[in-house]
Amino acid sequence: MVSFVLIVVLVLAVLVLIGFVLGYNKVRAADVRVDEALGGIDVQLTRRASLIPSLVQTVQSFAAHEKAILDHVADAQTALAAATTGKSVAQRSSAEKEFDSAVGQVLALGQTYPQLNSSSNFLNLQQNLADTEDKLAFARQYYNDAVATSNRLITTIPTMFVAGMAGVSQREFYQVPK
């Protein structure tokens, strides 16, 4: 009888250990997916920021006296580059909002200067920016899906019991700059 109880206890201990390992791996994998998704956003933000020097140069050749707008874009680009190196999603979103505002002012110059709007280089850069915006929207959605999965694992049984030991905590969603 004692050996039977010992075997049952041993089987239960092995099952708990297996459950712990599986839960730990599941939570860690979800956390890694969130980091990967945030990296995808950074890639698109960096890609968009790298298009700006060409855009500024093109606009400068047509509207050299719009220096304040062009300086604003350069400052916003620097802030965005700095934000993508940090961990804060809110800082990225804030820098992205400022960057969007600055780029919007530059693109609006196309309405003021018809010859700029007919420049193939300017139109190509606008198309590349639009393409990057689509990719950025997808990257944001992917990130928010990854965060939702990770947060759900952290707050539901049985994985909530291993989340703390795995060093995983709830993550914030990426808010679209308004």
pLDDT tens for the chain, 178 residues: list them: 778 889 999 999 999 999 899 999 999 999 999 999 999 999 998 888 888 888 878 877 777 667 788 788 888 888 888 888 877 888 888 888 888 888 888 888 777 777 777 778 888 888 888 898 899 999 999 999 999 999 999 999 888 889 888 889 999 998 876 6
Cα-Cα-Cα-Cα dihedral sign, residues 109, 114, 115, 120? positive
Instruction: Name the CA radius of gyration of the chain, rounded.
Output: 24
The pTM assigned to this predicted structure is 0.81
- In this predicted structure, what is the pLDDT of residue 178? 66
Amino acid, res. 80: L
Q: Is residue 170 part of a domain?
A: no
- In this predicted structure, what is the pLDDT of residue 175? 84
Number of structural domains in the chain: 1
Q: Is residue 134 part of a domain?
A: yes
Q: Is residue 53 part of a domain?
A: yes
Q: Is residue 122 part of a domain?
A: yes
Q: Is residue 69 part of a domain?
A: yes
- In this predicted structure, what is the pLDDT of residue 82? 83
Please work out, in degrees rounded to the nearest 5, the angle formed at the alpha carbon of residue 169 by the alpha carbons of 164 and 171: 170
Residue 115 phi/psi, 5° resolution?
-65, -30
Domain harbouring 101, CATH code:
1.20.1440.20
Dump the DSSP string for 112-147: H-HHHHT-HHHHHHHHHHHHHHHHHHHHHHHHHHHH
Which residues contact residue 22 at a Cβ distance below 8 angstroms, ignoring those fewer than 6 apart?
none
Which domain covers residue 84, as residue numbers? 28-140
Tell me the C-alpha distance between 13 and 7, whole Å. Answer: 10
Please work out, in degrees rounded to the nearest 5, the angle formed at the alpha carbon of residue 163 by the alpha carbons of 7 and 159: 55
- In this predicted structure, what is the pLDDT of residue 64? 66
Q: Is the peptide bond before 177 cis (omega within 30 degrees of 0)?
A: no
Q: Is residue 45 part of a domain?
A: yes
